[in-house]
């Protein structure tokens, strides 16, 4: 039995650090062992240009306990984003991608894009400067069932988009269905996907059987176990098209445990340790390094980290809550244990 695992330092290709007084807590967790993190721009108001990205970058670095932690900034696309916004973001050297939130699809997406047809110049500019397009892939129409929204997005929006911009690098974020796995596998090498650890560990029964568990509620929502199995197969397959993106998305305990609870699960306190559990369960610990540390930078055409981290099979307890600014957040595995731990 493997009890110790050394891998190249991993990166998180999708995380929400939020802003203000909670930054010290989210940045401490994400920088504990991750080298870099793609930082989602869905603040209120969102990060829509290079100047705002640079200011947000400075606020994050001011809280980073590790000087060599590198936040990779992302622009939030709106109906008003221009090709010039993309070009100056690229020139800033701090912005590594732009994010498409269909308006209304998820937390803080009200300024998102109402119709991708409005962004033809923007996608063309991204394609020509080599800036990846990151996508929250769900349609928002009232008559589309929430469990079908990813699949309908792929068929109606994503397939034509990828066909129209064949050289555009596209990351379908936090995929949740076998349909998404199959789409990404069959697409060109310019199309990849991130997979969260909660979508690998859980399916909708975990959220709904025996009582509703709001800390498992995130978007896209957990699907049935056959989809979970397809995600596990993809993540542990060694395919370079799939890589680690936690989508760690904290909301204060009171905002989750509510009659109308927010979407988002917090995993930044223990992400690589939780992924290690999944890979060990699949007998695929030898594939964890590619998923966590190699496939992401390769897709983004960035260097692979030079140093390493070591995980040990040491069980540790997760507290009931963690400090979240002046509030608390309930992390995934609260009051339970985790089997692996990163050694300092």
Contact call for residue 223 and ligand NCD (CB under 6 A): no
Q: Which among 16, 26, 24, 21 has a CA at the least distance from the CA of 46?
A: 16
Partner interacting with residue 49 (select from ligand NCD, Zn ion, none; CB below 5-8 Å by kind): none
Contact call for residue 249 and ligand NCD (CB under 6 A): yes
CB of 313 to ligand NCD, least distance (A): 30
Residue 59 known to bind ligand: no
**Other beta carbons within 10 Å of 218:** 27
Query: 273, 29 in Cβ contact below 8 A?
Result: no
Contact call for residue 247 and Zn ion (CB under 5 A): yes
Question: In angstroms, what CA-CA distances link 311 with 13, 72, 194, 315, 319?
Answer: 20, 25, 22, 11, 20
Contact call for residue 268 and ligand NCD (CB under 6 A): no
Partner interacting with residue 229 (select from ligand NCD, Zn ion, none; CB below 5-8 Å by kind): none
CB of 312 to ligand NCD, least distance (A): 30
Query: Per the residue annotation, which of 11, 12, 29, 247 is the catalytic one?
Result: 247
Q: In the annotation, is 145 catalytic?
A: no
Q: Which is nearer to Zn ion, 11 or 247 (CB)?
A: 247
Contact call for residue 57 and ligand NCD (CB under 6 A): no
CB of 152 to ligand NCD, least distance (A): 16
Q: Which is nearer to Zn ion, 41 or 297 (CB)?
A: 41
Contact call for residue 177 and ligand NCD (CB under 6 A): no
Chain positions 100 to 119 lying near Zn ion, rule: CB under 5 A, are: 106
Contact call for residue 239 and ligand NCD (CB under 6 A): no
Instruction: Give the one residue of 32, 36, 99, 136 binding Zn ion; rule: CB under 5 A.
Output: 136
Label each residue of the chain as H, E or C: CCCEEEEECCCEEEECCCCHHHHHHHHHHHCCCCCEEEECCCCCCCCCCHHHHHHHHHHHHHCCCCCCCEEEEEEECCCCCCHHHHHHHHHHCCEEEEEECECCCCCCCCCCECCHHHHHHHHHHHHHHCCCEEECCCCCCCCCCHHHHHHHHHHHHHHHHHHHCCCCCEEECCCCCHHHHHHHHHCCCCEEEEECHHHHHCCHHHHHCCCCCHHHCCCCCCCCHHHHHHHHHHHCCCCCCEEECCCECCCCHHHHCCCCCCCCCCCCCCHHHHHHHHHHHCCCHHHHHHHHHHHHHHHHCCCCCCCEEEEECCCEECCCCEEECCEEECCCCCCCEECCEECC
**Binding pattern to ligand NCD, positions 115-154, x when CB under 6 A?**
---------------------x------------------
Partner interacting with residue 161 (select from Zn ion, ligand NCD, none; CB below 5-8 Å by kind): none
Residue nearest to Zn ion (CB): 136
Contact call for residue 248 and ligand NCD (CB under 6 A): no
Which positions lie near Zn ion, rule CB under 5 A? 106, 136, 247
User: Active-site residue numbers?
Assistant: 247
Annotated binding site for Zn(2+): 14, 16, 99, 136, 174, 247
Annotated binding site: 14, 16-18, 42, 99, 136, 174, 219, 247, 251, 263
Which positions lie near ligand NCD, rule CB under 6 A? 16, 42, 106-108, 136, 218-219, 247, 249, 263-264
């Amino acid at each position: 039995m493997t009890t110790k695992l050394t891998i190249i330092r991993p990166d998180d290709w999708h995380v929400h650090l939020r802003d203000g007084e909670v930054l010290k807590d989210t940045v401490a967790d994400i920088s504990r062992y991750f080298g870099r993190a793609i930082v989602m721009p869905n603040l209120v108001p969102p990060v829509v240009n290079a100047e705002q990205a640079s200011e947000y970058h400075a606020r994050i670095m001011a809280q980073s306990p590790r000087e060599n932690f590198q936040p990779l900034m992302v622009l939030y696309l709106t109906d008003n984003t221009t090709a010039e916004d993309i070009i100056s973001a690229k020139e800033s050297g701090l912005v590594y991608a732009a994010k498409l939130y269909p308006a209304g699809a998820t937390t803080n997406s009200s300024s998102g894009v109402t119709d991708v047809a409005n962004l033809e110049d923007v996608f063309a500019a991204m394609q020509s400067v080599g800036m990846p397009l990151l996508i929250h892939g769900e349609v928002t129409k009232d008559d589309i069932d929430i469990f079908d929204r990813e699949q309908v997005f792929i068929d109606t929006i994503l397939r034509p988009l990828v066909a129209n911009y064949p050289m555009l690098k596209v990351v379908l974020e936090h995929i949740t269905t076998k349909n998404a796995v199959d789409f990404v596998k069959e697409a060109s090498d310019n199309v990849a996907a991130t997979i969260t650890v909660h979508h690998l560990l859980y399916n909708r029964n975990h959220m709904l059987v025996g009582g509703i568990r709001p800390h498992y509620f995130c978007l896209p929502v957990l699907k049935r176990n056959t989809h979970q199995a397809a995600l596990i197969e993809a993540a542990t397959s060694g395919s370079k098209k799939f890589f680690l993106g936690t989508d760690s998305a904290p909301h204060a305990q009171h905002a989750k445990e509510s009659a109308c609870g927010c979407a988002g699960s917090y995993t930044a306190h223990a992400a690589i340790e939780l992924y290690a559990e999944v890979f060990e369960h699949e007998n695929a610990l030898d594939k964890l390094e590619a998923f966590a540390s190699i496939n992401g930078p390769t897709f983004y055409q960035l260097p692979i980290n030079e140093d390493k981290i070591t995980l040990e099979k040491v069980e540790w307890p997760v507290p009931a809550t963690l400090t979240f600014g002046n509030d608390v957040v309930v992390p995934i595995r609260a009051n339970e244990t985790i089997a692996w731990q990163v050694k300092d």
